[in-house]
Structure formats: structure tokens, C-alpha cells
Copies of this chain bind each other. A is one copy, B any other.
Amino acid sequence: MDVLVLKGHIVDAPVFGELHCCENGYLICQGGKIEGVYSALPAQYEGASVQDYGDKLIIPSFSDMHLHGPQYAMLGMGMDLQLLEWLNTYTFPTEAKFADSEYARMVYKKLAANLIRAGTTRVCMYASIHRKSTHILMEELEAAGVTGYVGKVNMDRNSPNYLLESTEQSISETILWLNECEGRYANVHPMLTPRFTPSCTDDLMLRLGEIACERGLLVQSHLSENLDEIAWVKALCPDCNSYWQTYARFGLFSDKTVMAHCVYSDKDERRAMLDHEVWVAHCPDSNINIASGIAPIRRMLNEGLNVTLGSDIAGGAHLSMMDVATAAIRSSKRHWLDTGKQENFLTVAEAFYLITSAGQKYFNAGPGFKAGDMLHALILDDEALLPHTFLTPEQRLERLMYLSQGNCIAARYSQGKPVG
């Protein structure tokens, strides 16, 4: 069995709020699987070739739990607008371009390369309604070494004509796509993706719920992002008391579901997420860019919800999960001030947990570098910064999270192999 030994300062977050550091340690893998972290090389591995990263840091790679592939084409644009206006002016026209496979190939190739460059090796990602370009996204992710889940988007109402499916078409294309995915990809898998309640008729939701149940599929959607959106959902679904019920009544709200945002989820909705073991993808950069609000993350964590982080490009303008982590910290600091310093802000260690261990769990891995998991790791190099003579590995990690924007990543491992 092929043995891989990485040597360096190994930092991970196996427990929420705590950084564990093994200085000059050994991370050992067999057949791509983590065997363990050791402060000295165990006797049975003597003679194995060691990939010595010297004074560099070795950390788990990042999970981005919510992003829109096609919106990479409009990253950093239209940021003076709010959600619904921004969707109509920028997002929908951009997504429509993905009917063109050549355009999709060009954008997705760059996106996949830059995800890996930024250290993201696991994703839950929206594509667009287009079956063919959804495959192109999956192919490019797989080729670059990004693993995880991708969804062909479903939308059969309240969308511009050029980006609208009939209910039948949405279902038949989805089933065709799911069938085509079988055996086609090693590490990228399909998940169901009703865009959000305003874009999906009850009939579409019902049938997606049936497909999810029959095939045991994962599901992603949006929840309680913006006040105007919530009012709209209420008008569209007068028989539901709360936004979450518009998904739950069709079986699309379970421990297999990632719900992005949850900015305005009230106590009852949070309780429902807890009871249904739904995953929250907190997207702090996006939430402030398109002026949605600030999700009460500390409260969600205290209540025991599964909170993870997402870049939500292109509502978010940063692909690097390091930037998303510091955005989550900044957002939580504002919330701390707003609550009279009652709800503590996120620490660096906590935010690091959220971009590594918290997301990993959705992929049945972690927390931290857990024995038995496939290796997903990054090598961080801070040589270009001022000397770190006086700093601990933990302080060096903090500095890189705040400063690097991803350009400190010297090497990456995904699914047991070097990538990028």
C-alpha cells in the first residue's frame, strides 16, 4: 500500500474553538487515507520517503458549502444592488449564457482551477438550469481535483423566459441528468437543487421531493435570506406559516439538506432546522454585499445547529474560504455589538473550524485530520510575509487567514492525491 508522509507544523481544529498543533509533526497516509498525526515518525514507517515541508504549516483544506458556479462570470459586479434587483439585472442574464457549452467550458475551467488554487477541495455548488453545462462543471471540477456535489438548477416560475423551464421539462431534464451521472464521475456527485421557493411551483417541488426520496439524494436550496424574499414566499405559499415549511412539506428539509443563508430564521425556523438536522450554510460576505443582513450565528451554534460556511459567489465576492472565515468573524463582531456584547463573536479558531471540520462532516469526514478519512490538506507558506520568528504556528495561521487571500498556499492534496 502506498505510503505518504507529510512533515511540517500540523494545525487542525478537531474541536470547535480549539486549534490543535503538532509542531514538526508527521501526517501519515496509506492509499490516500489518513492514518494518523504523530510528533515522531512511528517505527513502522522508517524508511518511507518523507515529503518534508520544513517550517511550513499543514492544515485541512476547505469546504465551500454554498456557491453558484455560473455566477463566477460576474464575480464582484452589481454590488450596489439588493437581492431581487441583482438577480434580475445581473444574475439571470449571466446564467442564461450557460446554454452555450463553449462559454460554460471557459468559465468553469477557470473556476475549478481557482477553487483549487484557493484551497477549496469540497463543495456544494449550484450550476444553472442547463443539463449539458452542468456536466461541464462536474467534468472541470473532477479534472481539477475538487470533490463534492453539484446541482442542475430547477426553476419553473417567476423567472425570465430565457431562464424558465416547464415543470415537465425541469423534471425530465433532471432525471436524464441524474441517469447520465451514474458511473460518470469519481468524486463529484449530483444533488437536487430547487433554486428557491419563488422559482419553483408546488408541483415541481413535490416531484423533486419524490426523486430525492426514491434515489436517496442530497438537496440544497436557499432559506430566509432577505426580508422582501420572505414576504414574497409568504404571498406565494399562504398555506405555510413559515418559509421552511415550503420545503419540508415536500420532503426537502432533512439531514441531507443544505440551506443557504438563514439570516432571518426565527426561533421556530431554527427549531425546525435542529429537529430536521438540516445544515446551515452561512454566507457572510454575500449577506453584507447584497445587504441582506447578519445571521445570528452564535445563537445557532449555541442551539446546536450544524453551521457551515459558504462563499456564495457571486453574492459573495471572494472565492477564498479564508476570506469567508474572516468575513464571518467581522459579521459576528457587528452582531456582538448589536446584542450589547451578549452573543460572543467568532474567534479565529472557531472560524477555522467552520471552514474545515464543520463542512467536512457533510462529506462524512472529519473533524480535523481524522484517521480513516481521505487526505484533504493544504501546505501554507508565509515566507513572503515578514519573518515569523516570534510567532506560534497558531498565530501564523491567523495571520495567513487575514492576509493571504489564498496566495500563501504552496501545495494542495485532495482525495488523497496532490492537485493543482
Residues of A with Cβ closer than 8 Å to B? 72-73, 75-77, 79-80, 106-107, 110, 288-289, 291, 293-294, 317-318, 326, 329-330, 333-334, 336-338, 345, 347-348, 385-386, 391, 395, 398-403, 405, 407
- Bound-state Cα–Cα, A288 to B327, Å: 10
Q: Which residues of B contact A317 (CB under 8 A)?
A: 326, 402-403
Query: Is the pair B294, A334 in contact by a Cβ cutoff of 8 Å?
Result: yes
Shortest beta-carbon distance from A75 to chain B in Å? 6
Whole-angstrom distance between the Cβ of A286 and the nearest chain B Cβ: 11
Report yes or no: B405 in contact with A405, Cβ–Cβ below 8 A: yes
CB distance from A167 to the nearest CB of B (A): 32
Residues of chain B lying within 8 A (CB to CB) of residue A334 = 288, 294, 334
Q: Which residues of B contact A326 (CB under 8 A)?
A: 317
Given A289-B330, A386-B107, A386-B110 in contact, is the A77-B399 Cβ separation under 8 Å? yes
A317 CA / B333 CA spacing, docked (Å):
15
Give the Cβ gap from A337 to chain B, nearest Cβ, in Å: 6
Distance A276 CA – B411 CA, assembled complex (angstroms): 55
B80 A348 Cβ-Cβ under 8 A: yes
A405–B408 alpha-carbon span in the complex (Å): 14
- Interface pair A79/B348, CB less than 8 Å apart: yes
Q: In the complex, what residues of B have CB within 8 A of residue A347's CB?
A: 80
A336: chain B residues within 8 A (beta carbon): 291
Instruction: Indicate which residue in B77, B107, B398 contacts A76 across the interface (CB closer than 8 Å).
Output: B398
* Closest partner residue, chain B, to A349 (CB atom): B80
Q: A288 touches which one: B110, B293, B330, B386 (CB < 8 A)? A: B330
A401 CB to closest chain B CB (Å) equals 7
